[in-house]
Structure 1
Amino acid sequence: MRLKLVPQDTNWDFFKYRYATFGFSVFLMIASLAIWLTVGLNFGIDFRGGTTIRTQSESSVDVGAYRDAIAPLQLGDVSISEVFDPSFDSNHHVAMIRIQAQDGEESASGDTIAKVEAALQSIDDTIRFTQVESVGPKVSGELITTAVLAVAAALAAILFYIWLRFEWQFSVGAVVALFHDVLVTIGIFSLLQIRFDLATIAALLTIIGYSINDTVVIFDRLRENLRKYKTMPLQDVMNLSVNETLSRTLMTSGTTLIALIALLVLGGDVIRGFVFAITWGVVIGTYSSVYVAKNIVLWMGVKRDWSKPTDTTGNQFANIDA
């Protein structure tokens, strides 16, 4: 007996309320942009500049105890993580502490470093600082520029690939859906003031990859059905394609969310922003694959040139290997 997330033959009309769902997506994008511009993002140390301290101790690293010791100093955004290396001795325990740039300073001052060291030595007298490095505003600005270029390059590459693999209408729908996912994710980060750092950029790129995978699967089935049902209206062919891939979509998203929710609850503060971004991205990416990308294609229409041989109908680039 196999577990079935959806019935064997579903016939749900996903595009019955296509104007309402697409309007809701447009509203989400506008609201996200407005929140981003008015509230702003809670940039982490990577984008605001700050100081990175490498500690070494003979006792095990207790991230919670370290954070509790530093909290009374009111240094703002402080990130603490343990460093693991197989080459370390049994009494060699290393941690990385990142402190955001203080007001009017490019990095933490010598007095601040001394206070942090004293606070940590109050809970473990074997702690010593082996390395102290600072990231200034100029480097942080370069990181922001590089991050924006990375996301833009990913979107451009996907636009080009989908255009080759399918038709230009498909590529426009896919990229609009990806832009929707990225913008809404940034909006939720701005609204909730979750720390936005380089790990979040990595999460955004992961979201783009995950979302386009789901979109391409449905697009591929849509292309097959356009050849099979040559006289069926485009909306009906789209509904059929989404229904036929629904079980796969729910299984992939569901199993991914199980792992992500476990990490979100048990993973700790260090990776919480990263995991939250991917979790939100899986949900919004699954939604946008149907209600944004397919709505765009339905609105723009697809050329169905049946004068071509069946294996290349409507798409001269259909046989390019994925």
Structure 2
Amino acid sequence: MKTLKIIEKTKLWFSISLIIILVGFFCMFKNGLNYGIDFKGGTLVQINMKKDFNKQDVEAIINKYTKDYTTNTATNTANEVQLEIRSNSLTDEQVESMSKEMKNKYKLQDKDFSQQRIGPSVGKELRQKAILALVIANLAMLIYVGFRFEFKFALAAILGLVHDIIITVSVYAILQIPVNSSFIAAILTIVGYSINDTIVVFDRIRENSKKMRKANDVELANISITETMTRSINTVLTTLFTIVSVYVFVPSVRDFATPLIVGIVSGAYSSIFISSPLWVMLKNKSAKQVLTTK
């Protein structure tokens, strides 16, 4: 098998990520993140539709009262279809008028509707806990990878995870996709997936370093990436097939599936094109420091 020249093109891989991040930060600075009801506060309306319905017809009714909304559907234990509407801007009067129109069209009763106000303080608390969870998760993995391999591997892996989080947030800022509690759960899942893929590459580098003692760090990384490339591609494709199928056929979990799709692609990319080159850079920096001290 011909060895791929991945490390030699480090500037290209870093530039691709940097462009996405810069565009994302520009959009974030200009428009901000599109925080959903979980973070910004707003109105949650739950409707027991009882049977399947045409989503376009329902959204035509909702559009009369607000443009700022997201919808989810789910089936309960009684095989009744539940519709959930989340909006940052719906007022009580608009909810009442919308409910009246829905009752007339779908022959629903008052008991089929429930309304809940979510305050922005809940969103603030959720944001703080999400950041804390990410910090703890990254620190725990830094310690684990550092103990199992070495600190340079751990640092490169964590920087790759930070890259995946920033890329996912940037895509959300660019496309103005609503950020909600499902997004946080997906980010934590992405972190776990990405570190697993990165460890596979680093484990191969460690194995090859014992067998090829005369090879330099660039050669070691290129050979190890080449040997694990097929596995990485197969893993990410099979995972993506599953997540995309869930996204298409299970609308109720799209808020969770969307960031997973972005994060899994970013995680596979960073494991090969970001974390491995970072490890080489860290090793070269250490080698230069040793030569300087001598």
Shared fold (TM-score, shorter chain, > 0.5): yes
Q: Select the residue among 153, 161, 170 that pairs with 2:153.
A: 170
Contact 2:36/2:88 (8 A) holds in 1: no
Specify whether residues 99 and 20 from structure 1 end up closer, same or farther in structure 2 by C-alpha distance, changes over 3 A only.
closer
Provide TM-score, normalisation by structure 1: 0.80
Contact 2:43/2:115 (8 A) holds in 1: yes
Write 1 or 2 for the structure with the bigger share of helix.
Answer: 2
Q: Equivalent residue for 2:291? A: none
Q: CA offsets, 1:30-84, max 9 Å, x none?
A: 4433332332111111111122233335x41426143332221225214242341
Q: CA deviation at 1:19?
A: 2.7
5+ residue gaps, structure 1, are: 1-8, 305-322
Q: CA offsets, 1:229-268, max 9 Å, x none?
A: 1121111111111111112111101111222333344443
Distance, in Å, in 2 between the alignment partners of 1:162 and 1:267 is: 36
Q: CA deviation at 1:173?
A: 0.5
Provide TM-score, normalisation by structure 2: 0.87
Percent pairwise identity? 27
Other structure's SS at 1:42 match? coil
Other structure's SS at 1:41 match? coil
5+ residue gaps, structure 2, are: 288-294
Other structure's SS at 2:182 match? helix
Distance, in Å, in 1 between the alignment partners of 2:86 and 2:91 is: 7
Question: Are residues 1:62 and 2:49 paired?
Answer: no
Q: Equivalent residue for 1:307? A: none
Q: Select the residue among 254, 266, 273 that pairs with 1:284.
A: 266
Distance, in Å, in 1 between the alignment partners of 2:161 and 2:191 is: 6
Distance, in Å, in 2 between the alignment partners of 1:151 and 1:55 is: 34
Distance, in Å, in 1 between the alignment partners of 2:272 and 2:86 is: 42
Letter of the 2:141 counterpart: I
Q: Equivalent residue for 1:261? A: 244
Distance, in Å, in 2 between the alignment partners of 1:141 and 1:131 is: 24
Q: CA offsets, 1:271-315, max 9 Å, x none?
A: 3343232112222211111221111110111889xxxxxxxxxxx
Q: CA offsets, 1:83-136, max 9 Å, x none?
A: 412xx3x7xx3524333232xxxx732x22311210211221233345322111
Contact 1:56/1:95 (8 A) holds in 2: yes
Letter of the 1:150 counterpart: A
Question: Are residues 1:18 and 2:1 paired?
Answer: no
Question: Are residues 1:199 and 2:182 paired?
Answer: yes
Q: Select the residue among 299, 308, 316 that pairs with 2:281.
A: 299
Aligned length: 284
Distance, in Å, in 2 between the alignment partners of 1:56 and 1:30 is: 43
RMSD between superposed Cα atoms in Å: 2.3
Q: Equivalent residue for 1:81? A: 73
Question: Are residues 1:113 and 2:95 paired?
Answer: yes
Distance, in Å, in 1 between the alignment partners of 2:144 and 2:238 is: 27
Distance, in Å, in 2 between the alignment partners of 1:79 and 1:264 is: 14
Contact 1:48/1:101 (8 A) holds in 2: yes
Q: Equivalent residue for 2:254? A: 272
Letter of the 1:180 counterpart: H
Other structure's SS at 2:107 match? coil
Specify whether residues 293 and 251 from structure 1 end up closer, same or farther in structure 2 by C-alpha distance, changes over 3 A only.
same
Q: Equivalent residue for 2:195? A: 212
Distance, in Å, in 1 between the alignment partners of 2:48 and 2:244 is: 32
Q: Which runs of 4+ in 1 moved over 4 A?
A: none
Q: CA deviation at 1:138?
A: 1.1
Distance, in Å, in 2 between the alignment partners of 1:98 and 1:39 is: 23
Q: CA offsets, 1:159-180, max 9 Å, x none?
A: 1211111111111101111111
